[in-house]
Amino acid sequence: MEETYLLNVEGVKKKILHGGQGELPKLQDGSKITFHFQTLKDDFERTVIDDSREAGIPMEIIVGKMFKLEIWETLLSSMRAGEVAEFWCDAIHTGMYALVSRGMRRIAEGRDPLEGQKHRCGMGNMFDYHSTGYDDLDELQRTPQPLIFIMELFRVEEPSAYKRDTWAMNKEEKLAAVPVLHSEGNRLVLRKEFAQAAAKYQEAVICLRNLQAKEKPWEDGWLKLESLVTPLVLNYCQCQLELGEYYEVLEHTTELLQKHNDNAKAYFKRAKAHAAVWNEREAREDFLRVAHLDPSMAAAVKKELKQLGERMRKKHVEDRKRYQGLFQPPRGP
């Protein structure tokens, strides 16, 4: 099935390649659109620039969340579920495509899509884009041109019909999500599902860090959010201890202690991680600091120090036997 016509938008043509079903979707702020897309140059070879199927994961956008390529919402709003359509878009609509594609490619590569443009104003960010890191996208930036988008619409979900990712939430929604995530993490810990619990704590921390980024460090709003972050990070570290991810614990507790150097629980968890990776001196220093900061933990510290001493003595004996065996001459027949 092919039908070519102009949308009610200047510089856009649409060709239906496969008809869809049902009514046209009614988009509203917060609606989630799931689709596959292919981007091509408007040249003789129809050169492919991007193809979401290569990543194997459909594209998702949230309506009203400042997606940089606004024309995509317009294109998708003209499609029915199951429809495949080809759109020709003039350069007036495609000027931001190189930046959008750069972010999508970085995500597919497991990299930070905002690398190089954090904590910068909009004008400052413009100077980060002199090169996208991809030759074909740099060409698009230098010479804006018409592009062809082939899209397959899978579904449109209303805001209440799906679990919204935290990045798509506003400030109030993020604040409301944090105690829920905290409670879910605690419930999973009781069931000894530590990996799943850690993911809940981590998601809650990300919510709060996103909100903190909009506050001035060490002022009231920032401090209030930090007071919520700290117990979540400690819970996350406890899960990582249970999972044997000791270097992960060392990283996060050290970062926490750089801000809050009187947190006995952070020292305690870091000491246990040091002990687990045989950093005896560091472990002892942290355990002793715990007892100094919080005398109520002295008994727990004494027990840990005793276990540490026993483990280190056993290790020294095993090491000595192993090294002796290396230097003994081989026995004759």
> Tens digits of per-residue pLDDT, 201-254?
998 998 898 888 888 988 999 999 999 999 999 999 999 999 999 999 999 999
- Asked: is 171-324 a CATH 3.90.660.20 domain? The reply is no
For residue 20, give the nearest of 78, 87, 89, 75 by alpha carbon. Answer: 78
- pLDDT band at 326; cut points 50, 70, 90: low
In SS3 terms, the chain reads as CCCEEECCCCCEEEEEEECCECCCCCCCCCCEEEEEEEEEECCCCCCEEEEHHHHCCCEEEECCCCCCCCHHHHHHHCCCECCEEEEEECHHHHCCHHHHHHHHHHHHCCCCCCCCCCCCCHHHHHHHHHCCCCHHHHHHHHCCCCEEEEEEEEEEECHHHCCCCHHHCCHHHHHHHHHHHHHHHHHHHHCCCHHHHHHHHHHHHHHHHHHHCCCCCCCHHHHHHHHHHHHHHHHHHHHHHHHCCHHHHHHHHHHHHHHCCCCHHHHHHHHHHHHHCCCHHHHHHHHHHHHHHCHHHHHHHHHHHHHHHHHHHHHHHHHHHHHHHHHCCCCCC
Return mean pLDDT, the chain. Answer: 85
Residue 64 Cα distances to 13, 30, 40, 103, angstroms: 23, 6, 26, 18
CA 92, CA 80: separation in Å to the nearest integer?
25
The answer to whether 106 touches 115, Cβ cutoff 8 Å, is: yes
Percent of the chain at pLDDT > 70 equals 84
Neighbours of 190 (CB within 10 A): 8
CA 292, CA 168: separation in Å to the nearest integer?
44
Structure pTM?
A: 0.54
> Tens digits of per-residue pLDDT, 56-97?
788 888 887 656 788 998 999 999 999 999 999 999 999 889
CA 149, CA 42: separation in Å to the nearest integer?
10
pLDDT given at position 117:
46
**Residue 133, CB-side half-sphere exposure with 13 Å CA sphere:** 15
Domain boundaries, the chain: 4-157, 171-324
CA 289, CA 74: separation in Å to the nearest integer?
60
pLDDT given at position 121:
39
The correct CATH number of 4-157 out of 3.40.50.150, 3.40.630.10, 2.60.40.740, 3.10.50.40 is 3.10.50.40
pLDDT given at position 131:
74
Provide mean pLDDT across the span 145-171. Answer: 78
Please enumerate, as own/partner, the contacts of 251-256 that have beta carbons within 8 Å and a separation of 24 or more: 256/230
Q: Is the dihedral of CA 283, 284, 287, 292 positive or negative?
A: negative
CA 43, CA 24: separation in Å to the nearest integer?
31
The answer to whether 290 touches 297, Cβ cutoff 8 Å, is: yes
Q: Which two tokens stand for residue 26?
A: 């009614």
Looking at the chain, how many residues does it have?
333
